[in-house]
Each structure stands twice: as C-alpha cells, then as structure tokens.
Amino acid sequence: MTPGLLGVVTLPDPWRWQPHVEVWVLVLGLVGLAWYAATRVGPRAVRPGEPVVTRAQLAWGTGALLVLLVASDWPVHDLGEEYLYSAHMVQHLLLTYVLPPMVLLATPTWLARLVVGNGRAYGVLRRLCRPVPATILFNSIVLFTHWPAVVTAAVGNGPLHYSLHVLVVAAALLMWLPVCGPLAELRFPLPTQMVYLFAQSILPTVPAGWLTFADGVVYPSYDVVPRVFGLSVIDDQQIAGMIMKVVGGLYLWTIIGALFIRFAGKHMDDDRARGMELDRRAPVVGPSGETLTWDQVERELSSAGPAPKGPMG
C-alpha cells in the first residue's frame, strides 16, 4: 500500500498508466538519427543510382522501433519491473530475439561500414562474431541478467534496469550479426547458421528449468500484492521459465526451418544450373554422323541468319 493524496493509503494499481519520457526521447532520437543518416549521409556514401535505403529496410526499421516502444513502455515494462517476472521474460525475448535481427535487417551496408570502420573496432568485432565467442558472450550476459541478486537490484533502480537492457540488446546484436547482419563477410554459411541458432535454443534450458522446477520463490522482489491475473509468485516463475524455453525455442526453430528451406532451394537451383551446363557441354550428333558441341551448333545457327519466310508470312 502507498500513501495517496491527503495521506489516504491506496493499493498499488498494476494497470495504472505511467509515462516513460525517457523511452519516448530514445525512440524519437533514433528516428531523428535515421532520418539524418538517410537524407544527409547516405546520398554521399552510396554509388550513383544505388538506393540509400530500400523499402524492406524502411519496413524493418519501423517494426524495430515499434518493438522497442512496446517492450520498454507501459504496460509491458511496468508489469515486468514491478509485478510479473513472466512479463519481464516477454520483455527480455522482445529485446533479444525480435528487436536485434530487425535492427540489423534495417541497417544498410554502407551505414554499418561507416559505423564499424575497418580498423581496430572492425577487427575486434570480427573476432567476437565467431560461433564460440558470440555464443559464450551472449548466454553469459543472459545468465548474469537473470541472477536473483541482479534482478533484485534492477527492480529498485531504474537507471540500472535500463543499463542492463542496453547490455542485453548489445549482446543480442552481436549474437545475431553472423545470421542477418549487414556485413556479408561476417555472416556464417547457412548450415553453420542453423547449428549456431540450434545451440542458442538449447543453452537456455538450464535457467528455464531452474525457474520452472524451483520449489520456492526465486525472485523475492516479485512476491508482491496485488497479484496480476490471480497468478501466484510460483506460477509466475513457472510461466516465465516456459516462455524462456518453449516460446524462445519455437521462435528460433522457426527461423532454423526458414534457413533450411532457403538452403535447400539454393542447392536445387545450383543443381539445376549445373545440369543445364552439362547439357550444353554434351556432344550432339549431326546429320552426317559427325559429333558437334552445343557451342558449335550455336555458331552454325547464328551464321545461318534468320530463316526464310514461307508463303504465309
């Protein structure tokens, strides 16, 4: 209970609207930076005739800003910070699995090269984007941000809470960079991407199992009243663990399935092109029994000129 106007004690209201001006300033600032990059920097960075930003990149960027707003503003942020750890887990998945790939798909290659450069920062990024370092770094930060002491400290400290979000998003951007990043040389081959994402779906099993099967309260800061949706704190923890493992895993496996379809389609196209090339190289027997190649046939046809017109045309 909290004191209200005239000293009257009022119960906390989980659905009370709370403005988050810092989130609005962040989103508007990102919109301004994107506009400046696209209209002032981009035209000087691309070759004549090349688009500065494609329609697909514009759509991904708009979607990323909307996801950021949903994850960081009322009511998801307020429920996740003060009442439900399951809401916190939804927020966490939005910030690690949905937002980063959308940001990377929205980033033009010229802008990524301008930001990263080709010096020491690029070299460090290239080393961190290898499968083992990227996997270890991302999952270590995920485990750190789910540590009970860290969660308890972040719940009562707004700046720390947002700082942890920045850390998680930065680690997630690094994790997704080899899958859908704008720098082609940093992306893994499709089979490696599938194995890499499969590993990302397996490693959260440990913290998810810990939350799902815990006997007591893991995060005391979420043992508050009133209980939203009538969920007990234990039920809330179990739902959070299921969201982390089941929802997150299905999301990654869906992407793996899409990558497999893309990989299989590419191989079918390559096999078809290879078969056509073999057909072109296969010898052709002429009317007099001599063996001709397709190149010889094409030269003969081109030298013969157009066929004479018949009486009908």
pLDDT given at position 10 = 47
pLDDT band for position 141 (50/70/90)? very high
Cβ pair 129, 80 in contact under 8 A: no
CA–CA distance, 20 with 78 (Å, rounded to integer): 10
Residue 301's pLDDT band (boundaries 50, 70, 90)?
low
3-class SS letters over 131-149: HHHHHHHHHHHHHHHCCHH
Q: What is the pLDDT of residue 283?
A: 58
Between residues 90 and 275, the one the model is more confident about: 90
Q: Report the pLDDT averaged over residues 25-42.
A: 96
What's the rounded mean pLDDT across residues 143-149?
Answer: 91
Label residue 6 by pLDDT band (50, 70, 90).
very low
**Residue 160: is its pLDDT beyond 80?**
yes
Please report, for the chain, the start and end positions of each structural domain, with discontinuous segments joined by +. Answer: 10-189+219-231
Q: What percent of the chain has pLDDT over 90?
A: 66
Q: What is the pLDDT of residue 2?
A: 43
Band (pLDDT 50/70/90 cuts) for residue 168 is: very high
- The answer to whether residue 163 scores a pLDDT higher than 50 is yes
Helix (H/G/I), strand (E/B), else coil: 283? coil
Instruction: Check residue 204 and give its pLDDT.
Output: 87
User: For position 213, what pLDDT does the model report?
Assistant: 86
Alpha-carbon distance 168 to 284, whole Å? 63
What is the rounded average pLDDT of the residues 50-77?
96
- 125-164 b/e with 16+ CB inside 10 Å = b? beebbeeeebeeebbebbeebbeeeebeebbeeeeebbeb
Q: How far apart are CA 159 and CA 286, in angstroms?
A: 82
Give the H/E segment covering residue 292: strand 291-292
Contacts of 96 (CB under 8 A, 6+ apart): 142, 168, 169, 171, 172, 175
Q: Say yes or no to pLDDT of 139 above 70.
A: yes
pLDDT for 1: 41
Band of the pLDDT at 3, cuts 50, 70, 90? very low
Asked whether the bond before 159 is cis by omega within 30 degrees of 0, the reply is no
Residue 312 has pLDDT above 70, yes or no: no
291-292 vs 2-3, strand pairing mode: unpaired
Is the pLDDT confidence value at 58 over 60? yes
Give the span between the Cα atoms of 158 and 79, in whole angstroms. Answer: 14
Give the residue with greater pLDDT, 289 vs 299: 299
pLDDT at 4: 39
pLDDT at 236: 95
pTM: 0.83
Residue 27 confidence (pLDDT) above 60 = yes
* CB contact at 8 A, 186 and 127: no
